[in-house]
Structure 1
């Protein structure tokens, strides 16, 4: 997406933000993130605010609108929302000012001290209700990822049976149902850990969902594999999250097959930074589940 600096933004947006924050100093631009047009740390009369904005009606605008409500879904875990405003500036804009959270990303590599902190944080999320969020099972109604992947990138299905994996994918939606709050996109950059690891916030709640409490842990198993863990080692870490005990082997295998198909298809058709590495890790996990 096209990125805007503070000086590039329309005057109407300047005026709206200044009405909220008073005098403004731009502290820095945020380079991470692919789904917004503006990401800035601003200093106003009441302190620092993280400003995020999307131009034009799009899935990204819907995700930002979801994110603006995350402080109510996950109080004490997600950053608080200071303000949210729709602005007509030749094109429709949504701008949101979040509590600024200072911290570093988690280190997910083998042996990292952060792994215990991440497990504790995921357990906190698992204990929250997902009643207000869309069920992940509804979002995952499409189940033909392996069929489409075989047509688009046949080399990526080598060693797999697309028909068998499609059967696993069809079973997935009912196996991941539940009432727990899910982030659905947890990775190292979503955890903001302060210097002494005493405080952790989780950011970027663009696609929250409800589902089985173990699902976010399963997503992180794939992320750990991408960070250098063997699948068995990643599952050993998962066992330190209490909700992992609620899983069934069938449900986790179905989940792994679904994610491997979905992420591999997206990496082949609409790649984003890191897509190939993640898709490779997801297929590695699916192979592990199918053969173990």
Structure 2
């Protein structure tokens, strides 16, 4: 019997080993991960592994005081007037789910957290859907994969449309 994700050791991201800060720069050292970049093309066996890793991250919240932008700040200039509040929440978002930011071995790992963001959990599946379309999936196929995430299924259509508009304008 497998434990719920909240009870298992989280492995979706490499473990931070050390951190050095100097002159407004932060250098981070992570544990080594063997793997290759993810394949997002239709039919790829990597897709299930990517979904598993992203599902694991979906439950994480940003600690109070952590220096991250909010999703409202990230997309405020491009979002429809009055809509950035729809992106708000306390979930930790990767926001750059390009295939080269996912290493695949026995499982998938999310790497290169250059744009960590605090916001609604459904935003990362939306970003993944955009990457899937770029890799050859139809919008219907990408939406079917996004619908495997509880956060995407529970997000309202107005919020999703506002985010789609913000990304199109971006």
The Cα of 1:253 is off from its aligned counterpart by: 1.1
Query: Which shows bigger deviation, 103-112 or 75-84?
Result: 75-84
Which structure dedicates a bigger proportion of its chain to helix?
1
SS of 2:36's equivalent in the other structure is coil
The Cα of 1:142 is off from its aligned counterpart by: 1.7
1:111 and 2:46 aligned? no
2:127 aligns with one of 209, 219, 238 = 219
Give, in whole Å, the separation in 2 of the partners of 1:87 and 1:179: 29
Mark the CA change 1:135 to 1:86 in structure 2 (over 3 Å): closer, same or farther.
Answer: closer
- Listed as ranges, the matches of 1:17-36 within 5 Å are none
The alignment's TM-score, normalised by the length of structure 1, stands at 0.50
**Aligned structure 1 segments of 4 or more residues deviating by more than 6 angstroms:** none
Give, in whole Å, the separation in 2 of the partners of 1:214 and 1:205: 18
Unaligned runs of 5+ in 1: 1-74, 144-167, 263-292
1:123 aligns with one of 55, 60, 66 = 55
**2:90 — aligned with what?**
179
Q: Is the 8 A contact 1:123 1:243 kept in 2?
A: no
Provide, for residues 16-53 of structure 1, a one-character-per-residue CA deviation record: whole Å limited to 9, x for no partner: xxxxxxxxxxxxxxxxxxxxxxxxxxxxxxxxxxxxxx
**1:28 — aligned with what?**
none
1:140 aligns with one of 68, 71, 75 = 75
- Listed as ranges, the matches of 1:128-277 within 5 Å are 128-131=60-63, 132=66, 133-143=68-78, 169-194=80-105, 197=106, 199-262=107-170
SS of 2:18's equivalent in the other structure is strand
Q: Is the 8 A contact 1:81 1:99 kept in 2?
A: yes
More relative contact order in 1 or in 2 (CA 8 Å, sep 6+)? 2
Q: Is the 8 A contact 1:120 1:241 kept in 2?
A: no
1:85 aligns with one of 14, 17, 20 = 20
Mark the CA change 1:224 to 1:97 in structure 2 (over 3 Å): closer, same or farther.
Answer: same
The alignment's TM-score, normalised by the length of structure 2, stands at 0.83
Give, in whole Å, the separation in 2 of the partners of 1:171 and 1:206: 27
Q: Is the 8 A contact 1:217 1:244 kept in 2?
A: yes
The Cα of 1:186 is off from its aligned counterpart by: 1.0
SS of 1:78's equivalent in the other structure is coil
Give, in whole Å, the separation in 2 of the partners of 1:142 and 1:123: 29
Mark the CA change 1:206 to 1:93 in structure 2 (over 3 Å): closer, same or farther.
Answer: closer
Give, in whole Å, the separation in 1 of the partners of 2:44 and 2:125: 17
The Cα of 1:93 is off from its aligned counterpart by: 5.9
